[in-house]
Each structure stands twice: as C-alpha cells, then as structure tokens.
Amino acid sequence: MLFPKRLASPFFPILSIFLLCIISSQSWSQTLEPSPDKTIEQKPGPMNGLPPEKTPTSPNQAELREKFKNQIGGFGFGRSEKYYSLQIARMLDSQWAIGLNGYTNTYVNRFDNDAAYSYFLPPHDFYGRLRNNQEKYWGGAFFVQRFIADSPFFVSLWLGREHYQKNQTALYWESAGNTYRFEKDSYSSGPRNYAGFGVGFRFQTTSGLFFGWEGVWSWYAPYRNSFSVSDLYYSDRTASIGDLLYRRYAYQNAERLPGSSFGLNLFVGWAF
C-alpha cells in the first residue's frame, strides 16, 4: 500500500541557518581579538604622551660625603724642601665638616753665595758671602669646612699654632784685605697663634678615595722671637763681646717674619 508523501516543514532549515551564523560570527571575532600574550607594550615617548623612563644616575658629591663621613688624608714630598701633613676630618652632614691638621715644612739651602763690588764707598773692593741655612715650620690647626651646595668646592676657617726655627752658618770675605768673618746664627719664633681663611676643592670618589687642595690665608697674633749668635770668628782679630752683641743686633733686624702668610695645602686620602 502506498502512502502519500508529506511536505517538509520550513522551521528546521531556518533554525539551522541561524545557528550557523552565530557560530561563524563567534569564530570571526576570536580571530580579530589580539592574544593577551602577544600584546605590544607601548614605550614612553613624546608621541604617545607617556612620561620618559628614568635612567639611573651616579650619586653626586653631597651624597658621597653623606656616605663616607670619616676622612684620613695627607701629603708629602721632599728634596731640598721637605713637606709632610696629616689631616683627619669628620662630615657632620653633606655640607659641614670639622677636623684637625698637622704639618711640618723644612727647607735647606746649601752654598748660597753672592758677591758685590763697592765702587762709591772706600775701599773699592769685592765682598762676598757663602752661607748654608735651614728653615723649619711645624704646627697644627683646628678647622671648619662649609661645602658649596652639591659641588666639591668649599670654604674653611682655621685656628692654629705654629713654630718657626732657622739655623745658618755664614762666611763673609773681603778680597782687598784678605780678611773674612765666620759666624753661626740661629733664630726661632713661637708659638705663633693664627687664624686663617681657606678656599679649597675636594673630590670624593665612589670607592672612598678623595683628593684635593686648599689655599689658606693666615694672620698671626703677636709672638716672641729669639736670636742667638753662637760662634763668631774674625781672621785678623779676636771677636769681643761688643762684636757678638753687634752681630746679634744686626741679625735680629735682618730677620723679620711677616704678620700674615699664604700657604697651599695638598691632600690625598681615604674616606669611610
């Protein structure tokens, strides 16, 4: 027996087409969205308005002085002039420092000679001098330093005490009478109290090493002098007490130390 054919309902084809459109739209949107792992990070720059990246910088002089508060330094050299110094300082903060300085300076001059001819004063003759002398300074001071902002430059105030001593042997000769005079003199002064003002430069490295210089102007308070002539010989006669007093008086007036002076202090050291 044959059954008649029924017509298919249009609901199922429409539903199939609608589901196919939804699935295809989801897969297309997934292909357009970037993967979170592959997101490109934008770098700061003037084009995108982001602030520039901060690059690490080395510490400045003020920060290094804060880090290395204790300082031990000095300087020394020696040939005809021998100079040695020792300096200890402590940073109170990045700009203020206090410390102590000790120094000694010795100058030796051997075979210092000169000659002169007397034309206007009789007798017209040649006169000469041959001298060996040694000068020595030694002393110490307390100082306060003030650095200028973050720079390595500073100004300082000094309060110190200094000693001075000079010894010499001299031979004076005259060619006309074939005469000579030999004498041995010494001169000392001190202690000389002084106040000073300094301007300097100190550069601190990141390893702890530092170096620099300082020029100091000093003004001395009144001090005592001491003169002596220990030996006096004449070739043509015996020296008397009057000769000895006269030579001491002449030496006293020839040796005058100034009331102020300038000195340059060099230093290299280690801070910690």
Mean predicted confidence (pLDDT) in 226-244: 93
Instruction: With CA atoms as reference, report the closest residue to 69 among 137, 145, 167.
Output: 145
User: Rounded to a whole number, what is the distance in angstroms from the first to the last CA of the chain?
Assistant: 115
Q: What pLDDT shows up at residue 20?
A: 56
What are phi and psi for residue 7, nearest 5 degrees? -75, 135
pLDDT interval class at 245 (50, 70, 90) = very high
Provide the residue ranges of all domains of the chain, joining segments of one domain with +.
97-141+162-194+219-271
The tens digit of pLDDT for each residue in 117-126 reads 888 777 778 8
Tokens of 210: 């530092």
Among 29-38, 181-190, 258-267, the minimum mean pLDDT is found in 29-38
pLDDT interval class at 3 (50, 70, 90) = very low
Instruction: With CA atoms as reference, report the closest residue to 158 among 118, 212, 194, 110.
Output: 194
- Which residue type does 85 have? S
Which is more confidently placed, 58 or 260?
Answer: 260
| Cα 17 from Cα 172, distance rounded (Å) | 133
The tens digit of pLDDT for each residue in 7-55 reads 445 555 555 555 555 555 555 445 445 555 545 555 555 556 556 666 6
| Cα 165 from Cα 155, distance rounded (Å) | 30
The tens digit of pLDDT for each residue in 156-178 reads 999 999 999 999 999 999 887 78
Alpha-helix runs per DSSP H in 33-99: 61-67
Q: What pLDDT shows up at residue 208?
A: 95
Q: Give yes or no for residue 73 having a pLDDT over 60.
A: yes
Q: What pLDDT shows up at residue 126?
A: 87
Q: Is-cis flag, bond preceding 191, omega within 30? A: yes
Q: What pLDDT shows up at residue 242?
A: 94
Cross-strand partners of 103: 85, 139
Per the prediction, the chain carries an average pLDDT of 85
